[in-house]
A and B are shown apart, each in its own frame.
Chain A
Amino acid sequence: MTDVILEKVGKTYPNGYHAIPSVDLTIEEGEFIVLVGPSGCGKSTLLRMVAGLESISTGELRIRGERMNEKEPAERDIAMVFQNYALYPHMSVYDNMAYGLKNRGMPKDQIAEKVSDVAQMLGLTELLQRKPRQLSGGQRQRVAMGRAMVRDPKVFLFDEPLSNLDAKLRVQMRVEIRQLQRKLGTTTLYVTHDQVEAMTLADRLVVLNKGKAEQIGTPMDLYNKPATPFVAAFIGSPSMNLINANLTEQGIKISDALTLPLSHQHRGSIVWGIRPEHLEVSDERNADFALRIQAVESLGAETLIHGKIETASGDGEPLVVRLSGPHLPDVNSLMWLMAPAQHWHLFDEKTQQRL
């Protein structure tokens, strides 16, 4: 059953700034959708439009089939978790969680029951009488989620909820959010700029760029078949190597000296891409090209090698290679690489679409 439908939803600010031209998105019940993109791409604006904190300039938003454009945030049956948590500083944890229910006129004993249920689920029972300033960052984050959960809304909205936490806690909360969402089965819209968060949490990802949805799909879809160079570069870390090239009869002409053989009916300027993890080390005979190593980043489990494709003139394209395990090649030495054709990504340079 479809839960949330965004139909040609757009946003224009009074000063004429076109933040979001038009976004179409259909969300199934219980789905975990992550909106991801660089800062300023309009992902938070879109979320706030669903929440009702920003007006919708064009298009229509429907939740469970009901038009929501003109409804107040409180009438939309949504709950939101903010980046800085936005807990009421003068209220105890209990009151923070109960406030929304109180405003809805729920009887006191019912509120107490709901709050204590959610508090138990989140491990907040001990903290119910504390004030937000007496809590750690992770605990505040949990209270903010509790405040959303206690309302039992149709849709959860998360606005970069983990970006104020330290790295370790972020990973822990990420897993926890995912588990809770599965357990509750509540439709969720989640905004982040962190692609790891996006990949691990999402049922489906929406990659936004300048207010436009570049691609919508499962994390693996986006990883394996990015629709545009933007998505290709955004998903995956380190990001995909993208090199401007020419598609000719002989194949992909990367530079005067280097042409990778390929038979393809398309001709003209293209963007050729390959992920750092798909490049393979080989010997000189089988290699597609050589890399002049410029820097080596050893991370233990993997090694990132930064370099330039070796050419006669020395102005080859920069490239990153990711090898598993520790490697310690010399800087400035040559490394022979193979680029298996099944891992190539080709994009038309003009239309920026996948070929």
Chain B
Amino acid sequence: MIENRPWLTFASHATLLVGIGLVALPVWMALVASTHPASAFGVGHIPLWFGDAGVETWGTVLFEEAGNGVDTPVWFMMLNSLIMALGITFGKIVISLLSAYAIVFFRFPFRNLCFWIIFMTLMLPVEVRIVPTYEVVANLDLLNSYTGLTLPLIASATATFLFRQCFLSIPGELVEAARIDGAGPWRFFFDILLPLSRTNIAALFVILFIYGWNQYLWPLLITTDDAYYTLVMSIKRMLSVTDGDIAWNQIMATTLLAMLPPVAVVIGMQKLFVKGLVDSEK
């Protein structure tokens, strides 16, 4: 990889450019489409350059109700999405940190069994257990609430596993040094364990935030009140109009908006994310 071969450099760059083009094209098309009037799509050809309705469309999307049967403005749905995504992310991180802490550092009977039971829940994502979960949430009167949106998604076997591996790599002597230094379980957790798993937390934050933000099925099921609609599910709602034209331009603008927060999180935390996946500072 160190040798200098011009054609190799050219070929690899060309491959990368084609790849970028393929990935970016739909985004580009969405951006372009949001600047044409809604009727432009009905004609049958897809425009590849900006139209003249951009200001109007974006103005509508940003400041008025989203339309097409969704009576809340986009920014409000973004707020809902954000609350749900952050709730899920923080909930997952806190719970899996605590469970991994218990599994790795405390000796109690059936410790390993506990871990494997947690691990087995990997086989039971929301989609599989959706009916019983819905029933539980409904019985608890949590439909149409933020708690209902986040709580059932909060347990995470993946994150527990990741933190377990991270904690296992912490040398035993460090734990003993802390014991001699008079750090109790909580002190040890906050003063030593948390700072040492900082990069892992950051990496998980990125993954889990995107997971939470992109939740579709669950919010669709348990929210019937406009006040709790999330952005991703609303895009689908905006599509299902019984009569009249689908406002493709508005949908595209909304889609772009829905992409922004995950992109921002990835870009903002890129460094920590890579660090968390690649090295361990220990």
Q: How far is the CA of A73 from the CA of B181 in the complex (A)?
A: 8
Closest 3 CB pairs of A and B: A74-B182, A100-B181, A86-B173
Interface contact B191-A99, CB-CB below 8 Å: yes
> Shortest CB–CB separation between residue A164 and chain B, in angstroms?
12
Interface segment out of the listed A75-83, A172-180, A263-271: A75-83
> Shortest CB–CB separation between residue A333 and chain B, in angstroms?
52
Q: Please tell me if A90 contacts chain B, counting CB pairs below 8 Å.
A: yes
Q: How far is the CA of A89 from the CA of B180 in the complex (A)?
A: 17
Q: Name A111-161 residues within 8 Å CB distance of B.
A: 133, 147
Interface contact A53-B176, CB-CB below 8 Å: yes
Interface contact B181-A74, CB-CB below 8 Å: yes
Interface contact B179-A74, CB-CB below 8 Å: yes
Task: Tell me the dominant secondary structure on chain A's binding face.
Answer: loop
Q: Which of B180, B187, B282 contacts A80 (CB 8 A)?
A: B180
Q: How far is the CA of A208 from the CA of B257 in the complex (A)?
A: 71
Interface contact A80-B176, CB-CB below 8 Å: yes
Interface contact B183-A99, CB-CB below 8 Å: yes
Interface contact B180-A103, CB-CB below 8 Å: no
In the bound complex, residues from chain B placing their C-beta under 8 Å from that of A104 are 182
Interface centre among B182, B196, B198, B282 (most CB of A within 10 A): B182
1/0 contact trace for B172-190 toward A, CB 8 Å?
Answer: 0110111111110001000
> Shortest CB–CB separation between residue A75 and chain B, in angstroms?
8
Known: A86-B173, A89-B281. A100 touches B195 (CB 8 A): no
In the bound complex, residues from chain B placing their C-beta under 8 Å from that of A84 are 171, 173
1/0 contact trace for A66-104 toward B, CB 8 Å?
Answer: 000000111000111011101111110000000110011
Sample of 17 further A-B pairs with CB below 8 A, known A73-B179, A88-B192, A104-B182: A51-B176, A53-B176, A53-B179, A74-B181, A78-B180, A80-B176, A82-B173, A82-B176, A84-B171, A86-B171, A87-B177, A89-B196, A90-B195, A90-B281, A100-B182, A103-B187, A133-B281
> Shortest CB–CB separation between residue B200 and chain A, in angstroms?
13
In the bound complex, residues from chain B placing their C-beta under 8 Å from that of A78 are 180
In the bound complex, residues from chain B placing their C-beta under 8 Å from that of A103 are 181-183, 187
In the bound complex, residues from chain A placing their C-beta under 8 Å from that of B171 are 84, 86
Q: Which of A90, A99, A133 contacts B181 (CB 8 A)?
A: A99
Q: How far is the CA of A147 from the CA of B180 in the complex (A)?
A: 11
Interface contact B179-A82, CB-CB below 8 Å: no
Q: How far is the CA of A79 from the CA of B243 in the complex (A)?
A: 79
Q: How far is the CA of A82 from the CA of B178 in the complex (A)?
A: 12
Instruction: Place the interface of chain B in its size category.
Output: 10 to 19
Q: How far is the CA of A78 from the CA of B177 in the complex (A)?
A: 11
A residues near B, CB below 8 A? 51-53, 72-74, 78-80, 82-84, 86-91, 99-100, 103-104, 133, 147
Interface contact B192-A74, CB-CB below 8 Å: no
> Shortest CB–CB separation between residue A286 and chain B, in angstroms?
57
Q: How far is the CA of A73 from the CA of B175 in the complex (A)?
A: 12
In the bound complex, residues from chain B placing their C-beta under 8 Å from that of A79 are 180
Q: How far is the CA of A90 from the CA of B174 in the complex (A)?
A: 12
In the bound complex, residues from chain B placing their C-beta under 8 Å from that of A100 are 180-182
Q: Name B172-223 residues within 8 Å CB distance of A.
A: 173-174, 176-183, 187, 191-192, 195-196, 198
Can you list 30 A-B pairs with a CB-CB distance of less than 8 A? A51-B176, A51-B180, A52-B180, A53-B179, A53-B180, A72-B179, A73-B176, A74-B180, A74-B181, A80-B176, A80-B177, A82-B173, A84-B171, A86-B173, A86-B174, A87-B177, A88-B191, A88-B192, A89-B196, A89-B281, A89-B282, A90-B195, A90-B196, A90-B198, A90-B281, A100-B180, A100-B182, A103-B183, A104-B182, A147-B181
Q: Which of B174, B176, B198 contacts A88 (CB 8 A)?
A: B174
Q: Name B45-79 residues within 8 Å CB distance of A.
A: none
Residue of B whose beta carbon sits closest to that of A100: B181
Q: How far is the CA of A89 from the CA of B211 in the complex (A)?
A: 32
In the bound complex, residues from chain A placing their C-beta under 8 Å from that of B181 are 74, 99-100, 103, 147
Interface contact B187-A82, CB-CB below 8 Å: no
Q: How far is the CA of A43 from the CA of B180 in the complex (A)?
A: 19
> Shortest CB–CB separation between residue A51 and chain B, in angstroms?
7
1/0 contact trace for B153-164 toward A, CB 8 Å?
Answer: 000000000000
Q: How far is the CA of A86 from the CA of B171 in the complex (A)?
A: 8
Q: How far is the CA of A133 from the CA of B173 in the complex (A)?
A: 17
Q: Name B117-176 residues within 8 Å CB distance of A.
A: 171, 173-174, 176
In the bound complex, residues from chain A placing their C-beta under 8 Å from that of B180 are 51-53, 73-74, 78-80, 100
In the bound complex, residues from chain A placing their C-beta under 8 Å from that of B179 are 52-53, 72-74
Residue of A whose beta carbon sits closest to that of B280: A89
Q: How far is the CA of A84 from the CA of B176 in the complex (A)?
A: 12
Residue of A whose beta carbon sits closest to that of B281: A89
Q: How far is the CA of A147 from the CA of B178 in the complex (A)?
A: 11
Q: How far is the CA of A103 from the CA of B186 in the complex (A)?
A: 12
Residue of B whose beta carbon sits closest to that of A74: B182
Q: How far is the CA of A84 from the CA of B187 in the complex (A)?
A: 22
Q: How far is the CA of A68 from the CA of B179 in the complex (A)?
A: 15
In the bound complex, residues from chain B placing their C-beta under 8 Å from that of A86 are 171, 173-174, 176-177
1/0 contact trace for B252-282 toward A, CB 8 Å?
Answer: 0000000000000000000000000000011
Q: How far is the CA of A74 from the CA of B198 in the complex (A)?
A: 27
In the bound complex, residues from chain A placing their C-beta under 8 Å from that of B178 are 88, 99
Q: How far is the CA of A89 from the CA of B281 in the complex (A)?
A: 8
Residue of A whose beta carbon sits closest to that of B183: A103
> Shortest CB–CB separation between residue A282 and chain B, in angstroms?
53
Residue of B whose beta carbon sits closest to that of A131: B281
Q: How far is the CA of A208 from the CA of B177 in the complex (A)?
A: 25
